[in-house]
Amino acid sequence: MRWWKTYGAVSLALVLVLVTAACGANSDSESGGGDGEQVTIVYARGKDDTGSTQELVKAFEKKHPNIKVKFKEMPTDTGTSHDQYVTMLSAQSSEIDVMDVDVIWPAEFAQAGYLQDLDRFIQRDNIDMSQYIPGAVEAGNYNGKQWAMPKFIDAGLLYYRKDIVKEPPKTWDELIEVAKKQKGKKGTKSGFVMQAAQYEGLVCNFIEFAGAYGGRILDDKGNVVINSPGTVKGLEKMIEVVKSGAVPGNILAIKEPETHTMYKEGESVLARNWPYMFSILQNPDESKVVDQVGVAPLPKGDKASTAALGGWMMGINKYSKNKEAAWEFVKFVTGPEGQKISALYSHSPTYLPTYDDPEVQKANPLYADENFVKGVSAAIPRPVSPEYPKISEIIQVEVSNALSGKVSAKEAVKNMEQQLKDVVK
């Protein structure tokens, strides 16, 4: 399968500088988990629809009988989760010890002093960071320090029903055509579904459309370059998809959970989502489309096929009273054993050797394709900035206004440019 070769547009910088400077961990980072002492750590992450968390915790506790992991479920929506973490951590709460951190948070959280930097742990335990996907490591690196360990990497994918379309559409124009034509086949209600609600996922979907036509938000030096014909074309195509009549009527309210729920019920021919959806679709207990779904790169525009880079990392609360035990858990989940468990639930590993494991390859054929790793590594990151929440908010509001017809694509892009220039200086 060579399709992944065509994937990818803008490469991430592949250079990781692991700073070996003194780490400045608090003295309380020593406590917890040592010498058989019983410790309970609280691990926070968003709702897990794949079942991987339970398995990870079970395997970890078996290996570390002196550490119990209590799971604290956070909201699924990354933005809502983010706001709750900020409330907790800005009050210096020690309620949680370990948390999953979206790739867009480390810069902000590090700057705000919410996270424990991990360099000393990484060096002490000889973690070989060169074994991880560089872009995933880089997402947790800010001001020369590593603030979070990469847990899984995400890139937008096109899902298609193999029993309805022989070949996945290769361009966004083709996608619109196929979605219109095939809608209704085999009990489907729509031709295509993506995430177009006003939230973080909209930013990812927008980046993919813009990138397909050559549009970017910032250039490599961090300058705002959003106002380009490529971005306008991309947003116009996104509007065309939303108005095509081939997407669900409530497309402007759809996030990831609605997407996978519809898709596993067999309600759509095509879908845009992250890799995790594959494991849900292959689970006979909940899916009506087991073995009927193929995965492909997102369609091209007139420039490229682009995927947004997403993913989650693990960080330790700066105010945790159990940093040693917390690190043991982070090390386990992001190490070989944890990465394999995650991969069996379609959370794409960041630890590269996991891709070579035959069991992992069997569970998700994507992982057997070396071009998948290349594709993920070429996905487009969102701007790395402590001001990311403001950047995201601007994009969410304007793209949403364009999709609901309040402003034209041109106006939305111009508005974004003006507002982003105030934030990104």
What's the closest the beta carbon of residue 207 comes to ligand GLC, in angstroms?
A: 11
What's the closest the beta carbon of residue 392 comes to ligand GLC, in angstroms?
A: 9
At 299, the amino acid letter reads: P
Give the residue at shortest CB distance from ligand GLC.
310
Residue 103 or residue 137: which is nearer to ligand GLC going by CB? 103
Would you tell me which residues interact with ligand GLC (CB under 6 A)? 78, 102-104, 154, 200-201, 204, 256, 274, 310-312
What's the closest the beta carbon of residue 104 comes to ligand GLC, in angstroms?
A: 6
What's the closest the beta carbon of residue 310 comes to ligand GLC, in angstroms?
A: 3
Distance CA 91, CA 11 (A): 38
Residue 81 or residue 268: which is nearer to ligand GLC going by CB? 81
Residue 23 or residue 242: which is nearer to ligand GLC going by CB? 242
What length does the chain have? Answer: 425
Residue 150 or residue 266: which is nearer to ligand GLC going by CB? 150
Nearest to 331 by CA among 112, 42, 118, 74: 118
What's the closest the beta carbon of residue 312 comes to ligand GLC, in angstroms?
A: 6
First-residue to last-residue Cα distance in the chain: 44
3-state helix, strand, coil in the chain (%, to 5): 45, 15, 40
Residue 201 or residue 315: which is nearer to ligand GLC going by CB? 201
Residue 103 or residue 176: which is nearer to ligand GLC going by CB? 103
Strands 149-155 and 309-316, by their bridges, are antiparallel
What's the closest the beta carbon of residue 92 comes to ligand GLC, in angstroms?
A: 25
What is the spatial order of strands in the sheet that 39-46 belongs to?
67-74, 39-46, 98-102, 309-316, 149-155
Q: What is the largest distance, in Å, between two alpha-carbon atoms of the chain?
A: 65
Three-state DSSP class for residue 305:
strand
Distance CA 258, CA 272 (A): 12
